[in-house]
Amino acid sequence: MVGSMVWLNVLFIGVFFLVTIAIGIYARRHTKSVGSFVLGGRSVGPWLTAFAYGTTYFSAVVFIGYAGQFGWSFGLSTVWIGLGNAFIGSFLVWKVMGRRTRIMTKHLEATTMPEYFGKRYNSKSLKIAASAIVFVFLIPYSASVFNGLSYLFTTALGLDNMRYGFEMVIIGMSLLTAAYVILGGYMSTAINDFFQGVIMLVGVILVAAFVLHAHGGLMNSLAGLSQYTAPDGKILGVYVSFFGPQPLNLLGVVILTSLGAWGLPQMVHKFYAIKDEKSIQTGTIISTVFALVIAGGSYFIGSFGRLFVDSAEVPSKIPFDRIVPTMLMDKAIPAILLAVVVVLVLSASMSTLSSLVLTSSSTLTLDFIDGTVVKSLTEKKKVLWIRILIACFIIISMSLAIFAYQTGNLYITKLMSISWGALAGSFLAPFLYGLFWKKVTRVAVWTNFGCGVGITLVHLVLSNAVLFKIHLPAFLDLAAIAAKHPEFPINIASPINAGAFAMIFGLIVVPVVSLLTPKLDKKIVDHAFEGYDIAVAASQKKILPADEVI
């Protein structure tokens, strides 16, 4: 039975690999210039853009890491995270930022987020700093995706007890990602994202149905989950309550994973490439529905983890990242469904990885190497540099993923939170305010960059002093404080809460500093906003004067 299950998984994965590479080869004709390689020629329709946005948003990080750990910690209330992702991280961001991002970046001829900062605020230094932040802090996110994939694959393919099985899976995923992104660029990822998104939608719905079926349906599953008490052992049924056992920590996750999407370069980049006004309106609806099903379904599935895994074994014997893979190995889950789930997670993760590596490599090439390291690059050489850096980025991410697995200290949620906290903490406020408000200053943007990266790094050191072999005074050791006071409503050692704080802090810092520092030259600001006011000539429909008598 186990052998046939493994071969079924191998068959599904093999077919998926062939289709993915075929799409990459097909899309190669769209990679003749930098604009076509990075943005698909700014002509991508609503369905491809919406699915690209959604599949970039949700990967193995959500389905394996976040659904497993937060479903375990918060119970059914973890579904609030999925709802936040759908209505704040998808619907609202498309409504608020979609149109203005497309218009201003096209008017400024900005291909990447750092290039937007450089042209919007007339500062080459800002562009270089932003490109460095993007490249460095997308690495832990990419590593977290590799980890999520590998935990599921080692379980599904029976490689748990095989020496270097985990590492082999990571290397395999890295080679596939490099192959189809290097071949086809943005158009390859967009077409693949649509294909992969369909698999994700079907897979999540089927898994949710069988997870409930395994314990007698929805009501029996809820009844079983209600038998578990709060961490302090006092409140029965807390895991089926409206806000769960840790409402403030839950709020931190909602803010990080929902508001964070507004400031992530690989997410905002999708608005650069969308085709037209109508595509934005259609894409908003598609993206929101996609997020409701994928995020809501993933967290709903993870919330029933306690029914499948012995509480005494988490996280001592079964780490948080293995909860969902363990659930899927239950006897009630058909072998063919597990194979579908493997392809589902592979689909979600490959789309995210492709977007991450394309964003980081194109940013470093266009915003740092071209004009700084090398004075002038031709279109052909720019594309070559991007492809070389894609390979470098994947190798570094792969190495960090293997290190995280071998040390056992860096969970998927930690890696992702470090990345999202630094990136969204640095970029969200100056990017968003820059689209709407003419008074944002260059000093305010620099200040926010420093705060976003600074808060993330300082918190990382203070909460992982043991990992970095640093001896801290008792009042600075966040991990020790959190361990001694589990009753405190907010976990101060959590990188998620630190990332959420960095984002909100930035939304306050940028306007305050802007009001206190020298303004940008009026001509620079007016030029940036000209794109919103371009006059469009229209043909006259009524030729005869209204009062003419025939």
The reply to whether 52 falls in a domain is: yes
Closest listed residue to residue 354, CA positions, set 174, 85, 197: 174
Among 185-189, 462-466, 487-491, name the one with the lowest average pLDDT.
185-189
In Å, how far are 235, 250, 365, 370 from 377, measured between CA atoms?
Answer: 64, 47, 10, 6
Q: Range of 388's domain?
A: 2-22+47-532
- Please check whether residue 405 is in contact with residue 120, taking contact to mean a CB–CB distance below 8 angstroms: no
Cβ atoms 460, 495 nearer than 8 A? yes
pLDDT at position 430 over 90 = yes
The answer to the question of residue 328 being in a domain is: yes
Q: What is the pLDDT of residue 277?
A: 78
Half-sphere exposure of 268 (CA within 13 A, CB side): 29
- In the predicted structure, residue 449 carries a pLDDT above the cut 60: yes
Does any domain span residue 34? no
The per-residue pLDDT for 192 is 66
Q: In this structure, which amino acid lies at residue 419?
A: S
pLDDT at residue 188 in the model: 56
Question: In Å, what is the CA distance from 147 to each residue of 199, 315, 385?
Answer: 21, 17, 27
- Structure tokens that stand for 130 in this block: 């932003």
- Residue 368 · residue 48 · CB < 8 Å: no
Residue 27 lies in a domain: no
Identify the band that residue 498 occupies on the pLDDT scale cut at 50, 70 and 90: very high
Report the Cα 7 to chain-centroid distance in Å.
31
Determine how many CB atoms are found less than 10 A away from the CB of residue 443: 15
Query: Phi/psi zone of residue 244: left (φ > 0), alpha (ψ -120 to 50 degrees), beta?
Result: left
Which residues fall within 8 angstroms of residue 380, CB to CB, at 6 or more apart? none
469: left (phi > 0), else alpha (psi -120 to 50), else beta?
Answer: left
**Taking the CA of residue 12 as centre, how many other CA atoms within 13 Å lie in the half-sphere pointing to its CB?**
23
The CB density around residue 195, as the number of other CB atoms within 10 Å, is 16
pLDDT value for 186: 53
For residue 507, give the CATH number of its domain.
1.20.1730.10
Does residue 545 lie in a domain region? no
Distant-in-sequence, close-in-space partners of 131: CB < 8 Å, separation ≥ 6: 112, 114, 363, 364, 367, 368
pLDDT digits (tens, 9 = 90+) for 268-318: 888 887 877 788 889 999 999 999 999 999 999 999 999 999 888 888 778
DSSP state of 521: P
Residue 42 lies in a domain: no
CB of 443 within 8 A of CB of 453?
Answer: no
Classified as helix, coil or strand, 110 is coil
In a domain, 36, yes or no: no
Domain assignment of residue 542, yes or no: no
Using the Cα atoms of residue 503, residue 291, residue 55 and residue 341 in order, give the sign of their dihedral: positive
**Spatial CA neighbour of 74 closest among 231, 313, 246:** 246
Mean pLDDT (whole number) for 518-527: 94
Q: How many helices and strands (H and E) does the chain possess?
A: 23, 0
**Count of domains for the chain:** 1
